[in-house]
Copies of this chain bind each other. A is one copy, B any other.
Amino acid sequence: MSLLSIGTVAFDAIETPFGKTDKIVGGSCTYIALAASYFIKEANNIVAVVGDDFGSDNIADLNRHGIDTQGLQIKEGEKSFFWAGRYHNDMNSRDTLTTELNVLENFDPVIPESYQDCQYLMLGNLTPAIQIETIKRLKNRPKFIAMDTMNLWMDIAMDDLKKALTMIDMLIINDEEARQLSGDYSLVRAAQKIQEMGPKYLVIKKGEHGALLFGEGRTFFAPALPLEEVFDPTGAGDTFAGGLMGYLAKSDNVTFDNLKRGIIFGSAMASFTVEKFGPERLKDLDEATVNARVQEFVNLSQFEL
């Protein structure tokens, strides 16, 4: 089935204990769509905006992975969103060195007519107002809507965020965000409170400590793959969401048991992203490599009593 993802397509400059990059392609929508491309071969649609500095070669690169870029607006005379950050030695925290909103400042999510029939919608982290507007601009409500958000919107746009939460099926956030959104330190109680705000399903990402799925009174936990080295964690969360939503769109099944499988596939995709800078590793995978990684998750977590 078709997947529409909205988010950022941007430039990142990343510094980790292992090295640093110049401006490379990044952005939530880039990671989401690249991860989803291993599950859906067509109708992998994105809505995002870049400046005329983005370069046709970068767009061609997305197209090569089967990503439909009709919804990627190119603003002449403007610059793409740019983020620069430096990770600390433990890779669990980072400092933002630069954030240049540029084209993002006046982003209007125009949805191409050919995207109107999308069945699965992934709202990457943007202002809740844009996320709401995206849903409103779709003539028919998608079958399944997932959304990411961040602490900043809880600080400055909580009313909009709460409204957005009533319009979606699944929220995908990290543990810190779940605690701030709910005002509860316990993730179990946080999950209850957040589900009461609207979404039937909640995924709480815990980075190297895995991910929790809550819904239908059930809880599922997927570990992260223990890795010798995390080279660059940038985009891992978006990759997870993209793998999950790509898997759901491919299988067209939103039962709890299939969400569990989606979370395993999303976790597997995220485990690739952290192996190289930016989305580099996501560009050279194939089905066998992905399936072998999923088998590692099976070996890691499955047991028989």
Q: List which A242-301 residues lie within 8 A (CB) of chain B.
A: 257, 260-261, 264, 294, 298-301
Cβ of A18 under 8 Å from chain B: no
Q: Is A226 in contact with B187, judged by CB distance below 8 angstroms?
A: yes
Q: Is B229 in contact with A186, judged by CB distance below 8 angstroms?
A: yes
Cβ of A210 under 8 Å from chain B: yes
Q: Is the interface of A mostly helix, strand, loop or mixed?
A: mixed
Interface size on A, residues (CB 8 A): 33
Interface stretch of the complex, out of A22-30, A105-113, A121-129, A216-224: A216-224
Per-residue interface assignment for chain A, residues 17 to 41, with 1 indicating a CB less than 8 Å from any chain B CB and 0 otherwise:
0000000000000000000000000
Q: Is A209 in contact with B209, judged by CB distance below 8 angstroms?
A: yes
Cβ of A93 under 8 Å from chain B: no
A303 to B211, CA, bound (A): 14
Q: Is B301 in contact with A294, judged by CB distance below 8 angstroms?
A: no
Q: Is B227 in contact with A186, judged by CB distance below 8 angstroms?
A: yes
Q: Is A223 in contact with B226, judged by CB distance below 8 angstroms?
A: no
Nearest-neighbour CB distance to chain B for A210, whole angstroms, equals 7
Q: Is B305 in contact with A227, judged by CB distance below 8 angstroms?
A: no
Q: A209-B206, A229-B186 are in contact. Are A301 and B261 (CB under 8 A)?
A: no
A8 to B294, CA, bound (A): 43
A221 to B225, CA, bound (A): 9
Cβ of A163 under 8 Å from chain B: no
Report which of B187, B210, B218, B294 forms a contact with A223, defined as CB distance below 8 A: B210
Cβ of A103 under 8 Å from chain B: no
Chain B residues with CB under 8 A of A185: 89-90
Q: Is A304 in contact with B257, judged by CB distance below 8 angstroms?
A: yes
Cβ of A138 under 8 Å from chain B: no
Cβ of A302 under 8 Å from chain B: yes
Nearest-neighbour CB distance to chain B for A274, whole angstroms, equals 12
Q: Is A226 in contact with B220, judged by CB distance below 8 angstroms?
A: no
Cβ of A143 under 8 Å from chain B: no
Chain B residues with CB under 8 A of A304: 257, 261
Cβ of A49 under 8 Å from chain B: no
Cβ of A75 under 8 Å from chain B: no
3 closest Cβ contacts across the A-B interface?
Answer: A209-B209, A221-B223, A260-B303
